[in-house]
Each structure stands twice: as C-alpha cells, then as structure tokens.
Amino acid sequence: MELCIDNLNNVLETKKLLFNELMTISEFYISYQMFRKLTECVQYLHESDPQIIHRDLKPDNVLITSYGSIKLCDFGLAKEVYNSDSFHMSEVKHTADVGTVDYMAPEAMGDNYNHKIDVYSLSLIGAQIFGFNTIDIKEEKTI
C-alpha cells in the first residue's frame, strides 16, 4: 500500500490561504494535471465491468501521494452496476440521499440516477481546483 501524504481538501484549503490572486501558468498546469488524473480515476470506475458509481466524490476522498499521484478512497457508498447493454447506461434504483450534500447531484436526491452523479461531483471538484468557490455557485443557483 502506498503512503498518501495529504488529501485534496487540505491542498485546496492551503492554496486558498497562500494564493488569493489569479493562477500563474505553473499553478494552472499543476491544477490541470491533478484534475486530469482525477478524471482518469473516475473514468476507470465508470468503464469497469461491472461499472462502479462512487457516490461520494469530494476533495476529502481524493488522496495525494508523495509523488503527486491521485488515489480515490472511501468506497463505502460505492455501488456496482451490472448492465449488459454497454451503449446505453440504464438508470438504477439506489438508496436516495447518499454522499456529501455540497457535492451531491440533484438527481441523487431521488430514487433513479446513474454514473452521471459522479460526473456532477467531479465538475464541482474541478471548479474548486481551478479557483472557483463551488458552494457560492450552488447557493446562487437556488436564489
């Protein structure tokens, strides 16, 4: 097992304290690489057979190794989806209200949803990585 020295949430919090300005090219490149690696992790889950829906993607569940590798953790809410039709992902009934509310897709509040709830969470994490406060964005939408 590889030692993970930090999680993405701590990195984002530290980044907020240290850098209150626009990203430099170097910071943007590092952010891009982190987000690219994270999307590859989620893609691997969604393309596996059976498909795996993480259902609790958030910065706290993204670990970072001393070499800068990204590792997903906390698969306690994850679900395997068995689907023989590889071209059409059917919606599946799962337990409603799973995951962390700030990163939860609206459809996860209902009975039927699919792997796209992870994509929604991933987009919020990506926005944070690139310097947007996603909690403010979500609050503005509901007004």
From 23-37, 83-97, 109-123, the region with the lowest mean pLDDT = 83-97
Is residue 102 classed as helix, strand or coil in its secondary structure? helix
Catalytic residue among 49, 56, 60, 74: 74
> Does residue 60 lie within any of the structural domains?
yes
**Higher-pLDDT residue of 24, 89:** 24
In a domain, 52, yes or no: yes
How many percent of the chain have pLDDT more than 90? 43
Which domain CATH number covers 115? Answer: 1.10.510.10
Work out the pLDDT band at 13, boundaries 50, 70, 90.
confident
Q: What's the whole-model pTM score?
A: 0.79
58 is in which domain, residue-wise?
Answer: 4-19+26-77+92-142
For residue 52, what pLDDT is reported?
A: 95
d(CA 64, CA 8): 7
Residue 135 lies inside a defined structural domain of this protein: yes
Report yes or no on 115 lying in a domain.
yes
- The total number of structural domains in the chain stands at 1
Strand ranges, E, within the chain: 4-7, 51-53, 62-65, 70-72, 79-81, 92-93, 112-113
pLDDT at 25: 87
Residue tagged 């679900």 (tokens): 79
Mean pLDDT of the chain: 81
Q: Is 128 exposed, middle or buried (0-12, 13-18, 19+ CB in 10 A)?
A: buried
Task: Assess whether 102 carries a catalytic annotation.
Answer: no
Residue 85 lies in a domain: no
Residue 84: inside a domain, yes or no? no
Let me know if residue 109 belongs to a domain: yes
> Is residue 83 in a domain?
no
Q: Which helix (H) or strand (E) holds 76?
A: none
Q: Give the H or E element holding residue 132.
A: none
